[in-house]
A and B are shown apart, each in its own frame.
Chain A
Amino acid sequence: MKRQVPLMLVFTLALVMIVQYFVPNDFSLDTNEFLLKWIIIIGIFAMALGIWSLIRVSYEKIRRRVPGWQYPIATLLGLAAMIVFGFDYGRHFYTQEGLENYMFIHLFQYIIIPIQATMFSLLAFYIASAAYRAFRARSVLATVLLLAALIVMLRFNPYLGTFGVYLEKTTSWLLNVPNLAAKRAIIIGLGLGAVATALKVMLGIERAYLGRD
């Protein structure tokens, strides 16, 4: 029963969703919306579960005094601060107006945005290092890739004059012909793969989501 019930649920609901997609009447649309709301509710619970998991993992690290146990304290303090300020106790408790709270906006704008942007910006340094060490013309294909990358990057240079126009045209061709062809092939392949995987899940051939027990 432990395995059969989930399998039956998956099969039945998948069948309902497939059938409703091809039957455009009101009942079908209402069923679709009803089931989609379940997905949203599950998403909200997943968010709550994620917060609980973060608190539990952080607490365990602090309790066991693992190396770097001080960092989870900062995590928990940050989490608590954003929740407290986000609820905006002063004016309207538990409304979305909390998102306009002075402290919430300032913590977001002057701490979270610069921190995350800095982390993302560090990529530039690693890309430069990787470009120097790994981007080598070791084979014909690697050379083609290297030349394409150079052309696409070089088009950003505003001082190329007439040469820049040709470069822009070459870049457009690279993006719109070989890149587009490859991307379209990948997208079609992904789509077919997704259909195949969905069918495997629906028919109970793929059961990894059930876990080991």
Chain B
Amino acid sequence: MNKWGLIISLTIIAAGLLYLFIKSIRGRDVERRFIFLFMGLAVAVPILFNISFSEKATPIVKAAFDKIENLPPGSKILISFDYDPAMAPEVNPMTDAFVRHAMAKGHRVYFMNLWATGQPMVATAIDRIIKTEFPEKKNGVDYVNLGYKAGGTGVLNVIITDIRKMYLTDVNGINLDSLPIMNGIRSLRDMDLLISVGGGLPGVKEWVLFAGDPGHIPVVGGCAAVSAPLLYPYYPNQLMGLLGGIKGAAEYESELKRKYPRFAETPQPGIKMMGPQTMAHLVIMAFIIFGNISYFVLKSRGE
């Protein structure tokens, strides 16, 4: 199915692009609806035929993976879901992979959000990953959801010195002092690793500026592809690793699968989404090339 799907999808897209190419060399403009149609096909066909590609982790993603992998079991990792539903399809695969990895390694995970819309994302991630794949893990012992607090970077400035000045209870209203996972945790400085996933403000950059740097705590990030180039300057000294867009998530998933073969059968949304994204990129590249051919043809005619 995968092989035939690939052949059919490439044939459809190639035929469409050939049509656009002929129009371009004739110097004719292509209507917007045809562009939208080919883009739709480029995205839809790989989804319908379940086309996916193998991935290999780049150094920046490998660094993020190794950071979690090399921490001794039982280490304290805080994961902040700093995004909204618009970003969810792009960054949810990252949070899933981070949570799966941390749980598999036996780390203690602390969830929180700087975005109000991130809180339901944590609830669904706990249901989707921890309760399904790690039913033996206990809330309050192996993981805790601290929830959302308004204030953005103000929250970070407070919890860098004392978490309880901001969070007296977890998201379920249970006093933090009664949770075993909170024993010995006073501030963010007691965490072994901070992970922020998001692409807006506050996001990964704010975690570096207001928590990682002042507290000398390692930070790993995950963000939408458009935000990734803005975060590269912080790698590798202030940001230990970074997952940029679906590509980053897919690379992390492949690394996780390689290291933990038991995850081979678990959903890999990042790898799955790379099929449509790759096709879409190829189509966009073709549009750029055809657009320029058309431009030069018209220019040579003096139009």
Contacts and interface: CB of A to CB of B under 8 A. Distances in A.
Contacts of B88: 113, 116-117
Contact of A131 (B87, B171, B173, B287): B287
Nearest to A176: B232
A132 B280 CA distance: 13
A124 B278 contact: no
Contacts of B197: none
Contacts, number: 145
Interface stretch (B64-72, B95-103, B157-165): B157-165
A5 interface: no
Interface in B195-244: 229-230, 232-233
Given A39-B151, A105-B123, A132 B173 contact: no
B172 A175 contact: no
B32 A129 contact: yes
Contact of A153 (B35, B172, B281): B281
Contacts of A108: 85, 120
Contacts of B292: 135-137, 146
Given A36-B158, A132-B291, A187-B233, A43 B150 contact: yes
A20 to B, nearest CB: 11
B155 A183 contact: no
Interface of B: 30, 32, 35-36, 38-40, 43, 53-55, 58-59, 84-89, 119-120, 123-124, 147, 149-152, 154-155, 157-158, 161-162, 165, 171-173, 229-230, 232-233, 247, 274, 277-278, 280-285, 287-288, 290-292, 295
Given A100-B123, A132-B35, A156-B277, 12 more contacts: A33-B158, A37-B154, A40-B158, A43-B151, A47-B150, A105-B124, A116-B84, A124-B39, A132-B287, A136-B292, A158-B54, A175-B232
Interface of A: 29, 32-33, 36-37, 39-40, 43-44, 47, 92, 95-97, 99-100, 104-105, 108-109, 112-113, 115-117, 119-121, 124-125, 127-129, 131-133, 135-138, 146, 149-150, 153-154, 156-158, 168, 172, 175-176, 179-180, 183-184, 187
